[in-house]
A and B are shown apart, each in its own frame.
Chain A
């Protein structure tokens, strides 16, 4: 009995400990994003954005100040104005004992605004949304049609084409990146939205997933529909798609996650600032602002946030999609 409890306790301890390791980078990212750059440069590593603030206490008042220099028992300070940003008085000599310092919890939300406006992240996000949803619509249309034909129709060369598709799916992106770049150059698509959308509107993996699902639908349903005079397209639209909603949601989620996180392709195929998607914009920002740690962490946070929120809301669905797709594939 004791051993059993010990085992359970050990399991929970390990799970919690490693769960923390999994999320610590995110927590640290958020906490660093809310520190001031000065505090980070001074070596603030902890998780809580605490700062040391200096006050000049005199005549029963406390005023925020910054220490400039120390001269014997006199301290040279700049006294802040009420807004806490500009100085009311500079280089004031005051007695050292009138300077009090205290810890203060301070969240620098303005880092987010600064990061967001320093480079056009708004534009990048709109680009990403536009590309992601265009790809999503394309994928849903082409996959439903193709999967339906593969699952439910008989025609010459069906299996050959299907296996050709599957073998294409196994080829990793870096392999066809170079020739694709050449091809898109020839098409005049470099630095256009087409380059980010059109090559991705057919997703073999989605076709594969949907085909598996469409195959499980009982034949009786189709026979009945045909007797009632339904056309093939009507069967797909009125019968097959409505009962395949969960798998369609899975396909949509995969497509969105894939588009949102896609990096290498847009990095290669676009160079103009106007067409940058979020990931590419973020990577350029990381090079330009490499010393502004706080801003970098803010930018990373708001790049991760949308997908993270989607994930937290639909986590059950998403995790089970990953499992089912993994085991089928």
Chain B
């Protein structure tokens, strides 16, 4: 098959230079890995701004870059809700209210916090599901990269997998979490420098924001929506039928903005691990806030190109020449091709190499983020907890390194599994979505209600997961053809206007059916932990003094910083209302 992108010599040199630096960072850090703490938790030594950019970057896999470009074309500026509603508030909450417990408890991982706060079985439940999920995500990331590189550059699937696996293995094996974090910071700048000119050139081409909005009117009306549907974030959220996402404001705010977003940003160890690596409590609390500033601006980098692409595509359909058109697919457009096609259209040789490097970098750091979270949870929460308790630290360093090798080998296997049976991966991802959805209810109760017990937490999680599964089984999105989309319990109780609406509401159900039973069961069971044991783990039993934070001038403290982030986000929402 003819490849879509042809890289020149200079492009390959840029790709090569970048990966030389990636490996070099691992090499430069190889002597600093003296114990398991250095390798798995960076010895709590990372400055706040580095942890902050890594926090952002670890989540910014290439699937997100490709997916957000696609959604920008499909849904317009409403896609920014995944940032402004679905990320920023949760990041501020994590920084201001939750980080004191995570960091202050000296827990090395999120499952370990659950063990300290609740009990062994709650930790085990979280540790095992998380470990499997990280391997799966890392495998899917690898698979997606190999598939895309095959399509764009004509590289062989096996070679793409092998090269990415070996590079990630080398730099994590040598430099552990620190190496992963440093490379995530490098990747952050690659993404910004690689994509900012794309948004700039595209916007200039369509006549700026006002020109883009005018052109998007065609996109909206041609698909049967009000003229402003693609150019406004909130105006068309009154009812699911008014916008292409098929959701209404309540499902958006509660499902995405509360359950899914807080569940991910506040409890997923992959991101929380970056903050836990910070060198002081204040640095750890500042981590998500520092990440929030670029995060709120990322829609302009990753969503805008999609909006530009679809606007130009409709212009071309009207007969405009010299423009741009997305490839057709199933009576619509192949939205996943937004980013690659935009790169080819606007970037000459040279910048094209930079753009492709940014894409590859984000695939790899997505993998590396998962692998570093996996090796920590495996070593501390599974191996040390259940298999070999009291060994010298050097033993756990060795196990952490071995877990890195095994984790990457399993990811490769998962990538091949994804290539062979696409549906199996979809099913597994669905299962983990059910397991994860109720998690935030347990953390909320655990951190802010001292009466919450281990039994309440564990059974709340189990009931919430079952509720999510049942809800999914009784509902379908409109036009569903596969049982994978729901409805497999036979009777259909409700038809959602879109898959997204169904996902948001599944999350709301899971959360509620965890939260309420967890309270009831906690009240019915006797508390096992004493107040003294819960000090530092629960809001009401923890003295709220952070001498480092209080010593700072007011404008440098955590709470005003968090408030600033919220105000800026509100302003963005108002501008694009």
Q: Do A and B belong to a common assembly?
A: no
Give the A-binding residues of B (Cβ under 8 A): none
A residues with CB within 8 A of B:
none
